[in-house]
């Protein structure tokens, strides 16, 4: 009898919580309508209600995480045509942090990198437009423009008191994702710089490896993922697989079963177990963190540099009925250790900071690369 009463109480309590939840939601919708009506009636200036609703929708999505966002039909169309080279870009990957636009990384040999933009910089002004309060996609739209035109960016940088001004000329960004060379005093180290994970990165990467392996004197490798903002998950898995004989590479977890998956390495190490040092910094994100994190967890590589960015989530672009679209986070990445990359990133085994405002990757003052080379000689 007691069990029946307890079950009845639980069912009644559960049902009442659903009713309360629905009632609470309807009350919030009514409240939202009341706010809109008061704005329409009493606000000092006349407001474009369509734009206001777009902002409200975007506000809902941005409250979830920095990567979810609404795209109006115009912005959605621009995003699709951008890949066809109709717009000029600056060559930076950006994200949101506490409502402020932050540079994840400048891409090598692009206008932004050549101008001196750095990972971790905060963009406070684009032209004459204040960035505070704008969505990530709105900031991207402001930075786009015809090839050959210039744009002024106002930047706030850590440990620099005054804002920095940069004038950058837009161009079509074409990234050659892999470059390689022989380094070290004895010319016996293979150095591969991976700038992004695009459709052909794995083929380019493997080609560089095979060219090095033909040279019998190669005793180890340095893989440079600094300022690599990521790219395709499949490419991160393929390239990581080159250096593992077995074991998990990465897993994704989401609410849907289809978004919860595990990816494993196949047998075969392309370099026969030779030592690897991977360079990362604050601009290493997403696919870069999967590659570095997996090899670290399997103790297959030493990670050197700074803590990575911490972009460990998967976004899907969903078309909407009005011709617009939305970016929505549908799953998160987890390393073989079970740790999430999101907001944490990959911690290096050896912390070596980039030094000075004039620091450039692959320059004579590249203390991180110099440290990596010394590891092989010690």
Positions annotated as catalytic residues are: 286, 297, 311
Pick from 98, 228, 102: which is nearest to 155 by CA? 102
Q: ∠332-338-344 over CA atoms, to 5°?
A: 60
Residue 165 main-chain phi, psi, to 5 deg: -110, 130
**How far is the C-alpha of 128 from the C-alpha of 145, rounded, in Å?**
15
How far lies 190's CA from each of 65, 109, 156, 221, 259, in Å? 39, 21, 37, 5, 37
**How far is the C-alpha of 219 from the C-alpha of 340, rounded, in Å?**
33
Tokens of 291: 């590659």
**How far is the C-alpha of 152 from the C-alpha of 238, rounded, in Å?**
39
| Residues 347, 352, 353, 358, CA torsion sign | negative
Strand pairing class (261-264; 248-253) = antiparallel
Q: Which residue in the block uniquely carries the two structure tokens 């717009």?
A: 87
Report how many helices (DSSP H) and strands (DSSP E) the chain contains, helices first.
9, 17
**How far is the C-alpha of 120 from the C-alpha of 223, rounded, in Å?**
22
For 15-71, the DSSP string reads HHHHHHHHHHHHHHHHHHHHHHHHHHHH-SS---HHHHHHHHHHHHHHTT-TT-EEE
Asked whether the beta carbons of 90 and 121 are under 8 A apart, the reply is no
């Amino acid at each position: 009898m007691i069990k029946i009463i307890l079950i009845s109480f639980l069912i009644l309590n559960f049902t009442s919580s659903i009713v309360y939840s629905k009632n609470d939601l309807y009350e919030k919708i009514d409240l939202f309508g009341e706010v809109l009506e008061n704005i329409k009636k009493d606000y000092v200036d006349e407001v474009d209600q369509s734009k206001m609703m777009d902002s409200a929708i975007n506000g809902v999505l941005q409250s979830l995480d920095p990567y979810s966002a609404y795209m109006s039909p115009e912005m959605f169309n621009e995003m699709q045509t951008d890949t066809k080279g109709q717009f000029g870009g600056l060559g930076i990957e950006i994200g949101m942090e506490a409502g402020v636009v932050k540079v994840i990384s400048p891409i090598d040999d692009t206008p932004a990198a050549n101008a001196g933009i750095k990972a971790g910089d905060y963009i406070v002004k684009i032209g004459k437009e204040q960035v505070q309060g704008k969505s990530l996609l709105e900031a991207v739209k402001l930075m786009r423009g015809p090839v050959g035109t210039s744009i002024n960016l106002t930047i706030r940088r850590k440990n620099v008191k005054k804002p920095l001004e940069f004038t950058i000329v837009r161009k079509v960004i074409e990234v050659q994702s892999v470059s390689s060379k022989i380094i070290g005093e004895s010319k016996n180290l293979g150095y591969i710089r991976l700038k992004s994970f695009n459709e052909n990165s794995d083929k380019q990467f493997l080609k560089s490896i095979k060219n090095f392996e033909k040279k019998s004197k190669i005793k180890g490798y340095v893989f440079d993922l600094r300022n690599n903002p990521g790219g395709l998950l499949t490419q991160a898995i393929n390239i990581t697989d080159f250096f593992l004989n077995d074991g998990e590479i990465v897993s994704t977890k989401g609410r849907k079963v289809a978004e919860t998956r595990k990816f494993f390495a196949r047998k075969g190490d392309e370099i026969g177990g030779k030592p690897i040092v991977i360079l990362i910094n604050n601009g290493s994100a997403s696919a870069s963190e999967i590659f570095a994190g997996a090899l670290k967890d399997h103790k297959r590589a030493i990670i050197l540099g700074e803590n990575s960015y911490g972009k460990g989530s998967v976004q899907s672009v969903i078309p909407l009925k009005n011709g617009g679209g939305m970016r929505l986070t549908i799953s998160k990445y987890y390393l073989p250790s079970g740790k999430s990359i999101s907001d944490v990133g990959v911690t290096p085994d050896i912390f070596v900071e980039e030094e000075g405002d004039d620091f450039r990757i692959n320059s004579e003052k590249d203390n991180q690369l110099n440290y990596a080379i010394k590891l092989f000689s010690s």
